[in-house]
């Protein structure tokens, strides 16, 4: 298999993570002057006007960077927000993740399916008690062999039972994965692996991005194909995978060997457990459907750099209005209705004073039929 140049850049950092992290990763201690990079990975507005953000802070190699949570500053529409609650690294509570795996026929080549199984198992090994995980697979159809569960052994068994065949319906699988996580609260993420181009989906990238619900989630992608073979069934739509991960708060990485693939899954799992959770109350409390920008800064760096951005839309099919205006409108309409109902009584009162009589409401009694008697007949003798 031809090596892709990206591997030389990503591979070193990720393989180092395997050496350092078997089985446990540790936050990197930085003695140099490099700056951390922050990313908003999930925006949860299910308790609106409370807004909860999940923030990942890493170094330039993608390793977690431990910071004082009080130094993470959140701006909404360029206004600094006052946090109500901040949870530090490792304190965000249970994680819900859904592994979405390509089982199209091309995964039978070069031991890719076996490598994917081992990588997914390595990810499972990083989860804590109380974390939920599920398995969804796809080829021309989407299967859900293991729904979300805290029983990690059940997920391991489902991973071992995967078999590869047929073509690829990548975007359809992601739409179904979003539906599976729609009602889940807290931190939730999709980690998806594919080795080829989507050639069977009814959905597209825009459908996937539109399907991220108001509770939000992140989608991280892993490419296992050949990016320079665009247009072939064995190729990899790397641009779509990168765009998807970037717009859905996730990460993208590429692997063409089993060890690198395993290290990517381990790194993704550790990063998800190393995030920070920040909750604040938005000053713009109306669900007016207007997009709002978010920005995160790491305040303890030398320059207080602006590290990452995102946005959210509080939704609302019909834009809300201010509560005081709503009550004012209610009383105006109530008064108008009362006047309308009183109009007949007002007219009757005026007519009575003018000497007129109101029309009788008595019903006419039924009249008896008139019988016309014939005159008596005179008999002539």
Query: What pLDDT digit, counting tens, does each position of 310-365 carry?
Result: 888 887 655 455 555 556 666 787 788 877 787 877 777 777 766 655 455 445 54
> What average pLDDT does range 195-218 have in this prediction?
86
Specify the pLDDT at position 21. Answer: 40
pLDDT higher than threshold 80 for residue 105? yes
In DSSP terms, 293 is beta-bridged to 311
Say what the pTM is. Answer: 0.73
Specify the pLDDT at position 308. Answer: 83
User: Which of 61-75, 125-139, 344-358 bottoms out in mean pLDDT, i.e. has the lowest?
Assistant: 344-358
Q: Using alpha carbons only, how large is the chain's radius of gyration in Å? A: 34
Domains of the chain, each with CATH number or no CATH:
34-92+275-347 (2.60.40), 94-272 (3.40.50.410)
Better-scored residue on pLDDT, 65 or 372: 65
d(CA 202, CA 166): 16
Specify the pLDDT at position 320. Answer: 52
Phi and psi torsions of 219, nearest 5°: -125, 115
Specify the pLDDT at position 83. Answer: 96
- The DSSP element (H or E) to which 242 belongs, if any, is helix 238-247
By percentage, how much of the chain surpasses pLDDT 90?
Answer: 49
Distance linking the first and last C-alpha atoms of the chain: 140
User: Which of 29-38, 45-54, 204-213, 242-251 bottoms out in mean pLDDT, i.e. has the lowest?
Assistant: 29-38
User: Which of 134-138, 233-237, 302-306 bottoms out in mean pLDDT, i.e. has the lowest?
Assistant: 302-306
Q: How confident is the model at residue 76 (pLDDT cuts 50, 70, 90)?
A: very high
Contact between 252 and 223 (Cβ < 8 Å):
yes
Phi and psi torsions of 105, nearest 5°: -60, -30
pLDDT higher than threshold 90 for residue 72? yes
> What average pLDDT does range 100-112 have in this prediction?
92
> What average pLDDT does range 287-314 have in this prediction?
78
Structure letter (DSSP) for residue 285: -
> What average pLDDT does range 39-58 have in this prediction?
93
d(CA 224, CA 238): 10
């Amino acid at each position: 298999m031809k090596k892709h140049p990206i591997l030389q850049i990503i591979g070193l950092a990720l393989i180092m993570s395997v050496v350092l992290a078997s089985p446990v990763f540790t936050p990197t201690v930085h003695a140099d002057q490099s700056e951390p990079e922050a990313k908003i990975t999930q925006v949860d507005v299910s308790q609106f006007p409370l807004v909860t953000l999940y923030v990942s802070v890493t170094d330039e190699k993608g390793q977690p960077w431990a910071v004082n949570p009080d130094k993470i500053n959140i701006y909404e529409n360029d206004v600094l927000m006052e946090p109500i609650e901040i949870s530090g690294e490792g304190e965000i509570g249970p994680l819900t993740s859904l592994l979405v795996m390509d089982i199209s026929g091309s995964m039978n080549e070069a031991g890719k399916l076996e490598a994917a199984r081992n990588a997914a198992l390595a990810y499972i090994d990083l989860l804590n008690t109380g974390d939920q995980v599920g398995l969804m697979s796809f080829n021309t159809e989407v299967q859900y062999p293991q729904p979300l569960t805290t029983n990690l052994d059940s997920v391991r068994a489902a991973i071992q039972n995967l078999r590869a065949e047929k073509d690829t319906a990548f975007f359809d699988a992601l739409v179904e994965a979003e539906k599976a996580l729609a009602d889940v609260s807290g931190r939730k993420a999709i980690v998806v692996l594919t080795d080829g181009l989507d050639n069977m989906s009814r959905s597209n990238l825009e459908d996937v991005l539109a399907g991220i619900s108001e509770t939000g989630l992140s989608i991280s992608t892993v490419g296992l194909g050949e990016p320079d073979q665009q247009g072939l069934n064995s190729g990899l739509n790397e641009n779509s995978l990168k765009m998807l991960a970037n717009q859905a708060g996730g990460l993208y990485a590429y692997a063409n060997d089993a060890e690198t693939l395993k290290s990517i899954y381990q790194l993704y799992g550790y990063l998800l457990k190393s995030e920070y959770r920040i909750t604040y109350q938005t000053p713009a409390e109306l669900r007016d459907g207007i997009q709002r920008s978010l920005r995160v800064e790491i305040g303890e760096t030398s320059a207080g750099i602006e590290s990452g951005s995102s946005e959210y839309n509080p939704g609302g099919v019909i834009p809300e209005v201010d509560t005081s205006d709503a009550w004012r409108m209610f009383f105006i309409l109530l008064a108008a209705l009362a006047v309308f109902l009183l109009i007949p009584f007002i007219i009757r009162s005026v007519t009575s004073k003018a000497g007129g009589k109101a029309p009788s409401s008595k019903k006419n009694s039924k009249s008896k039929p008139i019988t016309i008697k014939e005159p008596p007949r005179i008999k002539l003798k």
